[in-house]
Amino acid sequence: DMAEKLVVEAVGYNHHNEKEGVKIDICDVDTHSMHTLVFKRWGSSRSYVFIGNWVRDFVSRRSLKSGDEVGFHWDPYARRFHFSVLARRMN
């Protein structure tokens, strides 16, 4: 529901680009690096996902683990997401 309300319209996702999705720039504010992923609705689950190099550009590079908390913020002026690791899972 949050993606429907907050993201879909902002990134220009609609029925015309539903099949291929929309390329989205994402700035990792912690490392000051830029990345591009595709935002789309996953057919089988009907949930919205980022596809592309998510694992390489974010999970592996930032050593993300299950339970880590990440945040995304849409910057309407730059027309991109800002990504940050908010909290690491405590062992």
Mean pLDDT value across residues 6-15 = 74
Q: What percent helix, strand, coil does the chain show, rounded to 5?
A: 20, 40, 45
Q: What is the pLDDT of residue 37?
A: 92
Predicted confidence (pLDDT) per residue in 32-47, tens digit: 999 999 988 887 887 8
CB neighbour list of residue 49: distance below 8 Å, 6 or more residues apart: 39, 40, 41, 42
Q: What's the confidence (pLDDT) of residue 83?
A: 95
Q: What is the reported pLDDT for 29?
A: 96
Residue 57: phi and psi, rounded to 5, are: -75, -25
Whether pTM exceeds 0.95 = no
What is the mean predicted confidence (pLDDT) over 53-67?
A: 93
Tell me the per-residue pLDDT of 72-86, one tens digit each, with 9 for 90 and over: 888 888 989 999 999
Of the candidates 1, 46, 38, 40, the residue with the CA atom closest to the CA atom of residue 18: 40
Give 35's contacts (C-beta < 8 A, 6+ positions apart).
25, 26, 27, 28, 53, 57, 58
Hey, how many other C-beta atoms are within 10 angstroms of the C-beta on 37? Answer: 21
What is the three-class DSSP state of 6?
helix
Average pLDDT of the segment spanning 47-74: 91
